[in-house]
Chains A and B, each alone.
Chain A
Protein backbone atom coordinates (compact mmCIF):
# COMPACT_ATOMS: atom_id res chain seq x y z
CA UNK A 1 0.00 0.00 0.00
CA UNK A 2 1.32 3.39 -1.00
CA UNK A 3 0.75 6.46 1.15
CA UNK A 4 0.00 8.50 -1.97
CA UNK A 5 -2.81 6.13 -2.90
CA UNK A 6 -4.21 6.39 0.63
CA UNK A 7 -4.14 10.19 0.44
CA UNK A 8 -5.75 10.13 -2.99
CA UNK A 9 -8.53 7.84 -1.77
CA UNK A 10 -9.70 10.37 0.85
CA UNK A 11 -8.61 13.60 -0.83
CA UNK A 12 -12.10 14.70 -1.80
CA UNK A 13 -13.30 14.15 1.78
CA UNK A 14 -10.67 16.50 3.17
CA UNK A 15 -12.35 19.56 1.72
CA UNK A 16 -14.40 20.36 4.80
CA UNK A 17 -11.81 19.36 7.39
CA UNK A 18 -8.81 21.05 8.93
CA UNK A 19 -5.75 19.03 7.97
CA UNK A 20 -2.35 19.05 9.66
CA UNK A 21 0.52 17.00 8.22
CA UNK A 22 4.05 16.19 9.28
CA UNK A 23 7.07 17.20 7.25
CA UNK A 24 8.69 15.45 4.35
CA UNK A 25 7.00 12.92 2.13
CA UNK A 26 3.51 13.31 3.61
CA UNK A 27 3.49 17.06 3.06
CA UNK A 28 4.92 16.79 -0.45
CA UNK A 29 2.53 14.05 -1.51
CA UNK A 30 -0.56 15.82 -0.24
CA UNK A 31 0.55 18.98 -2.03
CA UNK A 32 1.10 16.96 -5.21
CA UNK A 33 -2.61 16.11 -5.13
CA UNK A 34 -3.45 19.79 -4.80
CA UNK A 35 -2.93 22.25 -1.99
CA UNK A 36 -5.96 23.70 -0.26
CA UNK A 37 -6.19 26.56 2.24
CA UNK A 38 -7.39 24.15 4.93
CA UNK A 39 -4.12 22.16 4.82
CA UNK A 40 -1.24 23.02 7.16
CA UNK A 41 2.12 21.31 6.70
CA UNK A 42 4.34 21.30 9.78
CA UNK A 43 7.65 21.17 7.97
CA UNK A 44 9.75 20.65 11.11
CA UNK A 45 9.17 20.25 14.85
CA UNK A 46 8.84 16.50 14.50
CA UNK A 47 6.24 15.09 16.84
CA UNK A 48 4.13 18.19 17.23
CA UNK A 49 1.63 17.66 14.39
CA UNK A 50 -0.59 15.61 16.70
CA UNK A 51 -0.33 18.26 19.44
CA UNK A 52 -1.31 20.93 16.91
CA UNK A 53 -4.30 18.88 15.87
CA UNK A 54 -5.29 18.47 19.51
CA UNK A 55 -5.11 22.23 20.08
CA UNK A 56 -7.25 22.86 17.00
CA UNK A 57 -9.78 20.17 17.91
CA UNK A 58 -10.21 21.41 21.49
CA UNK A 59 -10.66 25.02 20.37
CA UNK A 60 -12.92 24.26 17.38
CA UNK A 61 -15.26 21.46 18.44
CA UNK A 62 -17.49 21.98 15.40
CA UNK A 63 -14.67 21.30 12.93
CA UNK A 64 -13.28 17.92 11.96
CA UNK A 65 -9.50 17.91 12.39
CA UNK A 66 -7.34 15.34 10.63
CA UNK A 67 -3.67 14.82 11.45
CA UNK A 68 -1.50 12.91 9.01
CA UNK A 69 1.32 11.68 11.22
CA UNK A 70 4.16 9.23 10.66
CA UNK A 71 5.92 6.57 12.69
CA UNK A 72 9.16 8.53 12.98
CA UNK A 73 7.39 11.68 14.11
CA UNK A 74 5.04 9.96 16.53
CA UNK A 75 7.87 8.01 18.12
CA UNK A 76 9.41 11.38 19.03
CA UNK A 77 6.28 12.38 20.95
CA UNK A 78 4.58 9.24 22.22
CA UNK A 79 3.30 11.23 25.19
CA UNK A 80 1.00 12.98 22.76
CA UNK A 81 -1.00 9.74 22.48
CA UNK A 82 -1.71 9.88 26.20
CA UNK A 83 -2.62 13.58 26.06
CA UNK A 84 -4.97 13.06 23.12
CA UNK A 85 -6.57 10.07 24.84
CA UNK A 86 -6.99 12.08 28.02
CA UNK A 87 -9.11 14.73 26.31
CA UNK A 88 -10.32 12.50 23.45
CA UNK A 89 -11.94 15.19 21.31
CA UNK A 90 -14.62 13.60 19.15
CA UNK A 91 -13.62 15.73 16.19
CA UNK A 92 -10.00 14.56 15.96
CA UNK A 93 -8.80 11.87 13.57
CA UNK A 94 -5.18 10.85 13.99
CA UNK A 95 -3.82 8.97 10.99
CA UNK A 96 -0.33 7.51 11.33
CA UNK A 97 1.40 6.42 8.15
CA UNK A 98 3.76 3.71 9.36
CA UNK A 99 6.41 2.87 6.80
CA UNK A 100 8.79 1.57 9.48
CA UNK A 101 11.35 4.02 8.18
CA UNK A 102 12.78 7.51 8.44
CA UNK A 103 12.29 7.75 4.72
CA UNK A 104 13.02 11.43 4.23
CA UNK A 105 16.51 11.15 5.73
CA UNK A 106 17.81 8.03 4.08
CA UNK A 107 15.36 5.30 4.92
CA UNK A 108 16.83 4.14 8.20
CA UNK A 109 14.47 1.75 10.01
CA UNK A 110 12.40 2.98 12.96
CA UNK A 111 11.46 0.83 15.94
CA UNK A 112 8.14 -0.10 14.33
CA UNK A 113 10.29 -2.16 11.94
CA UNK A 114 11.54 -4.23 14.85
CA UNK A 115 8.25 -4.79 16.57
CA UNK A 116 7.06 -1.58 18.24
CA UNK A 117 3.31 -1.55 17.81
CA UNK A 118 1.83 1.94 17.48
CA UNK A 119 -1.73 0.62 17.45
CA UNK A 120 -1.02 -1.16 20.73
CA UNK A 121 0.61 1.91 22.29
CA UNK A 122 -2.28 4.10 21.20
CA UNK A 123 -4.84 1.66 22.56
CA UNK A 124 -2.96 1.25 25.83
CA UNK A 125 -2.72 5.05 26.11
CA UNK A 126 -6.50 5.10 26.32
CA UNK A 127 -7.48 6.04 22.80
CA UNK A 128 -11.04 4.78 22.39
CA UNK A 129 -10.98 3.82 18.74
CA UNK A 130 -7.85 2.41 17.16
CA UNK A 131 -7.21 0.28 14.11
CA UNK A 132 -4.45 -0.80 11.75
CA UNK A 133 -5.18 -0.92 8.03
CA UNK A 134 -3.18 -2.52 5.24
CA UNK A 135 -5.18 -1.82 2.09
CA UNK A 136 -6.38 1.36 0.43
CA UNK A 137 -9.97 0.15 0.59
CA UNK A 138 -9.82 -0.46 4.33
CA UNK A 139 -7.99 2.86 4.82
CA UNK A 140 -10.71 4.75 2.99
CA UNK A 141 -13.41 2.92 4.91
CA UNK A 142 -11.73 3.61 8.27
CA UNK A 143 -11.38 7.32 7.51
CA UNK A 144 -14.98 7.62 6.30
CA UNK A 145 -16.16 5.88 9.43
CA UNK A 146 -14.06 8.15 11.66
CA UNK A 147 -15.55 11.21 9.95
CA UNK A 148 -18.90 10.36 11.46
CA UNK A 149 -17.38 12.09 14.46
CA UNK A 150 -18.36 9.73 17.23
CA UNK A 151 -15.04 9.71 19.04
CA UNK A 152 -11.31 10.27 18.82
CA UNK A 153 -9.97 7.84 16.24
CA UNK A 154 -6.44 6.64 15.59
CA UNK A 155 -5.72 4.83 12.34
CA UNK A 156 -2.33 3.24 11.80
CA UNK A 157 -1.82 2.75 8.05
CA UNK A 158 0.97 0.36 7.13
CA UNK A 159 2.53 1.73 3.95
CA UNK A 160 5.56 1.05 1.79
CA UNK A 161 8.69 3.09 2.37
CA UNK A 162 8.39 4.97 -0.90
CA UNK A 163 8.13 8.71 -1.23
CA UNK A 164 7.94 11.47 -3.79
CA UNK A 165 10.77 12.47 -6.11
CA UNK A 166 11.04 15.91 -4.50
CA UNK A 167 10.26 17.20 -1.02
CA UNK A 168 10.48 20.97 -1.44
CA UNK A 169 7.47 22.67 -2.97
CA UNK A 170 6.89 26.27 -3.97
CA UNK A 171 4.54 26.90 -1.06
CA UNK A 172 6.49 28.89 1.52
CA UNK A 173 6.07 28.02 5.18
CA UNK A 174 4.74 31.38 6.28
CA UNK A 175 2.40 31.68 3.31
CA UNK A 176 0.90 28.33 4.29
CA UNK A 177 0.63 29.29 7.95
CA UNK A 178 -1.08 32.64 7.38
CA UNK A 179 -3.41 31.21 4.75
CA UNK A 180 -4.41 28.38 7.08
CA UNK A 181 -5.24 30.72 9.95
CA UNK A 182 -7.12 33.09 7.67
CA UNK A 183 -9.12 30.17 6.32
CA UNK A 184 -10.14 29.18 9.84
CA UNK A 185 -11.11 32.73 10.71
CA UNK A 186 -13.28 32.86 7.58
CA UNK A 187 -15.07 29.70 8.75
CA UNK A 188 -15.82 31.33 12.08
CA UNK A 189 -17.16 34.44 10.38
CA UNK A 190 -19.72 32.46 8.39
Chain B
Protein backbone atom coordinates (compact mmCIF):
# COMPACT_ATOMS: atom_id res chain seq x y z
CA UNK B 1 0.00 0.00 0.00
CA UNK B 2 1.53 3.29 -1.02
CA UNK B 3 0.40 5.18 2.06
CA UNK B 4 3.60 6.33 3.72
CA UNK B 5 4.20 4.27 6.85
CA UNK B 6 7.27 6.36 7.68
CA UNK B 7 5.45 9.66 7.58
CA UNK B 8 2.44 8.24 9.38
CA UNK B 9 4.79 7.23 12.19
CA UNK B 10 6.24 10.71 12.20
CA UNK B 11 2.77 12.15 12.74
CA UNK B 12 1.91 9.59 15.40
CA UNK B 13 5.12 10.25 17.29
CA UNK B 14 4.37 13.97 17.15
CA UNK B 15 0.94 13.34 18.70
CA UNK B 16 2.56 11.32 21.47
CA UNK B 17 5.00 14.14 22.16
CA UNK B 18 1.99 16.38 22.73
CA UNK B 19 0.71 13.95 25.37
CA UNK B 20 -2.31 12.96 23.26
CA UNK B 21 -3.87 10.06 25.13
CA UNK B 22 -7.13 9.54 23.23
CA UNK B 23 -7.65 9.30 19.50
CA UNK B 24 -11.01 8.96 17.77
CA UNK B 25 -11.00 7.67 14.24
CA UNK B 26 -12.99 6.45 11.32
CA UNK B 27 -10.87 4.49 8.89
CA UNK B 28 -9.86 5.78 5.51
CA UNK B 29 -6.98 4.72 3.32
CA UNK B 30 -4.55 7.48 4.21
CA UNK B 31 -5.12 6.94 7.93
CA UNK B 32 -4.52 3.19 8.13
CA UNK B 33 -1.03 3.36 9.63
CA UNK B 34 -2.01 6.07 12.10
CA UNK B 35 -5.00 4.04 13.29
CA UNK B 36 -2.90 0.88 13.57
CA UNK B 37 -0.32 2.75 15.61
CA UNK B 38 -3.02 3.92 18.01
CA UNK B 39 -4.51 0.44 18.18
CA UNK B 40 -1.16 -1.13 19.05
CA UNK B 41 -0.27 1.49 21.64
CA UNK B 42 -1.32 0.31 25.13
CA UNK B 43 -1.16 3.87 26.43
CA UNK B 44 -3.57 5.23 23.82
CA UNK B 45 -7.36 5.10 24.05
CA UNK B 46 -8.56 4.49 20.49
CA UNK B 47 -12.26 5.07 19.85
CA UNK B 48 -13.45 3.72 16.53
CA UNK B 49 -16.48 5.70 15.48
CA UNK B 50 -19.57 5.00 13.43
CA UNK B 51 -19.60 8.61 12.24
CA UNK B 52 -17.03 11.34 12.69
CA UNK B 53 -19.33 13.78 14.48
CA UNK B 54 -19.32 11.46 17.50
CA UNK B 55 -15.66 12.37 17.87
CA UNK B 56 -16.58 15.94 18.79
CA UNK B 57 -18.52 14.70 21.81
CA UNK B 58 -15.84 12.19 22.75
CA UNK B 59 -13.09 14.82 22.56
CA UNK B 60 -15.24 17.17 24.65
CA UNK B 61 -15.64 14.45 27.28
CA UNK B 62 -11.89 13.87 27.22
CA UNK B 63 -11.24 17.60 27.61
CA UNK B 64 -13.56 17.76 30.63
CA UNK B 65 -11.66 14.78 32.02
CA UNK B 66 -8.34 16.58 31.51
CA UNK B 67 -7.18 14.25 28.75
CA UNK B 68 -5.70 15.60 25.54
CA UNK B 69 -7.19 14.05 22.42
CA UNK B 70 -7.01 14.11 18.64
CA UNK B 71 -9.49 13.28 15.88
CA UNK B 72 -8.45 11.37 12.78
CA UNK B 73 -10.81 11.82 9.89
CA UNK B 74 -11.11 12.22 6.16
CA UNK B 75 -12.24 15.62 4.90
CA UNK B 76 -15.67 14.10 4.21
CA UNK B 77 -15.73 13.19 7.88
CA UNK B 78 -15.04 16.82 8.67
CA UNK B 79 -18.04 17.71 6.52
CA UNK B 80 -20.11 15.21 8.50
CA UNK B 81 -18.98 16.80 11.79
CA UNK B 82 -19.81 20.42 11.13
CA UNK B 83 -22.89 20.75 13.30
CA UNK B 84 -21.03 19.20 16.23
CA UNK B 85 -18.11 21.55 15.66
CA UNK B 86 -20.36 24.63 15.57
CA UNK B 87 -22.94 23.77 18.20
CA UNK B 88 -20.62 22.06 20.64
CA UNK B 89 -16.95 22.89 20.11
CA UNK B 90 -17.48 26.51 19.13
CA UNK B 91 -20.47 27.13 21.38
CA UNK B 92 -18.78 25.68 24.46
CA UNK B 93 -15.18 26.54 23.63
CA UNK B 94 -13.86 23.01 23.35
CA UNK B 95 -10.34 22.46 21.99
CA UNK B 96 -10.24 19.98 19.11
CA UNK B 97 -7.13 18.82 17.33
CA UNK B 98 -8.44 17.60 13.98
CA UNK B 99 -6.15 15.69 11.64
CA UNK B 100 -7.95 15.69 8.32
CA UNK B 101 -6.82 13.71 5.32
CA UNK B 102 -7.10 16.08 2.39
CA UNK B 103 -8.64 13.92 -0.29
CA UNK B 104 -9.82 15.26 -3.61
CA UNK B 105 -6.98 17.70 -4.08
CA UNK B 106 -4.19 17.80 -6.69
CA UNK B 107 -3.29 14.32 -7.88
CA UNK B 108 -6.52 12.68 -6.70
CA UNK B 109 -7.46 9.69 -8.87
CA UNK B 110 -10.71 8.70 -7.12
CA UNK B 111 -13.54 10.66 -8.75
CA UNK B 112 -15.74 10.30 -5.64
CA UNK B 113 -13.31 12.30 -3.53
CA UNK B 114 -13.13 15.34 -5.74
CA UNK B 115 -16.13 17.39 -4.57
CA UNK B 116 -15.03 17.17 -0.94
CA UNK B 117 -11.63 18.41 -1.99
CA UNK B 118 -13.15 21.50 -3.54
CA UNK B 119 -14.93 22.66 -0.40
CA UNK B 120 -12.59 21.65 2.43
CA UNK B 121 -10.58 24.85 2.73
CA UNK B 122 -13.50 27.22 1.97
CA UNK B 123 -15.50 25.55 4.74
CA UNK B 124 -12.61 25.71 7.23
CA UNK B 125 -12.31 29.41 6.45
CA UNK B 126 -16.07 29.98 6.71
CA UNK B 127 -16.03 28.30 10.12
CA UNK B 128 -12.99 30.37 11.12
CA UNK B 129 -11.11 27.23 12.04
CA UNK B 130 -7.35 27.86 11.96
CA UNK B 131 -5.79 25.30 9.64
CA UNK B 132 -2.37 24.39 8.39
CA UNK B 133 -1.05 21.77 6.03
CA UNK B 134 1.20 18.91 6.92
CA UNK B 135 3.07 18.67 3.66
CA UNK B 136 6.75 18.22 4.46
CA UNK B 137 8.62 15.82 6.68
CA UNK B 138 10.74 18.43 8.39
CA UNK B 139 7.79 20.50 9.69
CA UNK B 140 5.43 17.75 10.88
CA UNK B 141 6.60 17.62 14.46
CA UNK B 142 6.61 21.37 14.91
CA UNK B 143 3.20 21.94 13.30
CA UNK B 144 1.48 19.21 15.27
CA UNK B 145 2.84 20.70 18.47
CA UNK B 146 1.88 24.23 17.45
CA UNK B 147 -1.64 23.18 16.42
CA UNK B 148 -2.16 21.36 19.72
CA UNK B 149 -0.87 24.37 21.64
CA UNK B 150 -3.20 26.73 19.76
CA UNK B 151 -6.24 24.48 20.26
CA UNK B 152 -5.59 24.37 24.02
CA UNK B 153 -4.87 28.06 24.45
CA UNK B 154 -7.72 29.29 22.24
CA UNK B 155 -10.17 26.58 23.36
CA UNK B 156 -11.32 25.99 19.81
CA UNK B 157 -10.93 23.52 16.97
CA UNK B 158 -7.69 23.64 14.98
CA UNK B 159 -7.22 21.57 11.82
CA UNK B 160 -4.17 19.99 10.24
CA UNK B 161 -4.62 18.94 6.63
CA UNK B 162 -2.75 15.74 5.84
CA UNK B 163 -1.69 16.23 2.24
CA UNK B 164 -0.91 13.82 -0.56
CA UNK B 165 2.70 15.03 -0.61
CA UNK B 166 3.18 13.73 2.92
CA UNK B 167 0.85 10.73 3.06
CA UNK B 168 1.22 9.09 -0.33
CA UNK B 169 4.25 7.47 -1.90
CA UNK B 170 3.71 7.54 -5.66
A58-B22, A59-B45, A86-B48 in contact; A48/B65 too (CB < 8 A)?
no
Nearest chain B CB to A124 CB, angstrom units = 14
A44-B88, A48-B88 in contact; A79/B49 too (CB < 8 A)?
yes
Stretch at the interface among A9-17, A25-33, A155-163, A176-184: A176-184
A174 at interface, CB cutoff 8 A? yes
A173 at interface, CB cutoff 8 A? yes
A56-B61, A59-B22 in contact; A45/B56 too (CB < 8 A)?
yes
Nearest chain B CB to A63 CB, angstrom units = 8
- A83, A87, A173 — which one has the most chain B CB atoms within 10 A of its CB? A83
> When the two chains form the complex, which single residue of B21, B48, B50, B57 contacts A52, counting CB atoms closer than 8 Å?
B57
Nearest chain A CB to B69 CB, angstrom units = 8
Contact B51 A185 (CB under 8 A): no
CA distance A43 to B66 in the complex (A): 21
Contact A52 B58 (CB under 8 A): yes
Interface residues on A, range: 35 or more
> When the two chains form the complex, which single residue of A53, A60, A177 contacts B93, counting CB atoms closer than 8 Å?
A177
Contact A51 B54 (CB under 8 A): yes
Nearest chain A CB to B168 CB, angstrom units = 29
> When the two chains form the complex, which single residue of B55, B84, B92 contacts A177, counting CB atoms closer than 8 Å?
B92
Nearest chain A CB to B45 CB, angstrom units = 5
A45-B91, A173-B91 in contact; A58/B47 too (CB < 8 A)?
yes
B residues near A, CB below 8 A? 21-22, 45, 47-51, 53-67, 69, 83-84, 87-88, 91-94
A residues near B, CB below 8 A? 20, 40, 42-45, 47-60, 77, 79-80, 82-83, 86-87, 173-174, 177, 180-181, 184-185, 188
A-B contact pairs, 28 of them (CB 8 A): A42-B92, A44-B91, A45-B57, A45-B83, A48-B57, A48-B84, A51-B55, A51-B58, A51-B61, A52-B57, A52-B58, A55-B60, A55-B61, A55-B69, A58-B45, A58-B58, A59-B21, A59-B45, A59-B65, A77-B53, A83-B47, A83-B48, A83-B50, A173-B92, A174-B93, A180-B64, A181-B63, A185-B66
